[in-house]
Amino acid sequence: MWGSAGFIVGVVLGSLVKALADRSLGMKSFWGRSYCPSCKAGLRWYDLFPIFSYIFLNGKCRYCKKKIPLEYPITEIILGILIAYLFTQTQFSLISIPDLILKIFFIVILVVLFITDFKKMFIPDRIVIPAIIISLISLVAITVYKIGYLYFYLSQSPIGRKLLPPYSDYFQRHALAAAEPLYLGILMGLLIGGFFLSLIIITRGKGMGGGDVKLGAFIGLMLGFPQALFAVVLSFLTGAIFSIILIIAGKKHFGQTIPFGPFLVLGSLIMLFWGNQIMDWYLKLGV
């Protein structure tokens, strides 16, 4: 049931993701009605049902009859699958809902930036900078909410009140644990952003772009330690493998640049969904 609900949420967000990516690439306002990319005709509400509208219209604009790019329903389906899987991983409770919303936001931004960087090697500031700010504010708010909820929960029973100051340090210890995603996220955001910036300085701008620095900071903030570090390592590994394949296939040659953002997105999604399993596997290798 939760998977189906997540898929519906995801396909709806998929339409938003594609619109944000297209308008970012076209340097157009995020506000205003949706329109056909070919004839610019404003779309009605019944033209905007994710996936279904594409099928019912036979993949063509209702007004100019030109083909609608297949990437529209593909983006909707991919977001549907990602959010559906996220829902199936979530144990729903009052305390988990804010985290779930923030993870959905993380996935949405990642896919938007995947599209823009893949298509035009462009990570728009007007997407990634507000995303960093929103994430930081959200993490602070979620931390305050969790600590406040813990205090309220403990204060509701005689036993719980004995776990509050000055009787015990139980509350302080658990409040510090609740704040861990916030301070580790900030630390990792600064660390990864600084590392990417140093690569730009060392390679004189040939290693990666300024957009990667901001994307790295966003990923570090959202994933924290050690998931963000693993995400970066996976990004470099998958990027290197993909580059070698392109060189062998004759599609690229040494020295040519490829967008790094999509690999950062891929590594981040892997760690978001399977981070705990990967880290457990890695720790077992070291035993």
Q: Look at residue 88 in the predicted model and tell me its pLDDT.
A: 92
Q: Look at residue 272 in the predicted model and tell me its pLDDT.
A: 95
What's the predicted TM-score (pTM) here?
A: 0.90
Q: Look at residue 279 in the predicted model and tell me its pLDDT.
A: 84
Q: Which residues sit opposite 60 in a β-bridge?
A: 67
176 found inside a domain = yes
117 found inside a domain = no
For residues 220 and 149, membership in a common domain is answered with: yes
Of the candidates 212, 139, 147, 141, the residue with the CA atom closest to the CA atom of residue 181: 139
- How many separate domains does the chain show? 2
Residue keyed to tokens 């994933």: 223
114 found inside a domain = no
Task: Tell me the one-letter amino acid at 58.
Answer: N
For residues 86 and 212, membership in a common domain is answered with: no
Q: Which domain holds residue 198?
A: 123-287
- Which regions of 109-244 does DSSP assign to beta strands (E)? none
Q: Look at residue 93 in the predicted model and tell me its pLDDT.
A: 79
100 found inside a domain = no
116 found inside a domain = no
With a cut of 70, which residues of the chain have pLDDT below it? 32, 36, 38, 41, 45-48, 207, 252-256, 286-287
Q: Look at residue 132 in the predicted model and tell me its pLDDT.
A: 97
**What's the rounded Cα separation, in Å, for the pair 107 and 99?**
12
> For the CA atoms of the chain, what is the radius of gyration?
22
48 found inside a domain = yes
Domain C-terminal end among 44, 70, 91: 91
102 found inside a domain = no
**What's the rounded Cα separation, in Å, for the pair 217 and 211?**
10
For residues 276 and 135, membership in a common domain is answered with: yes
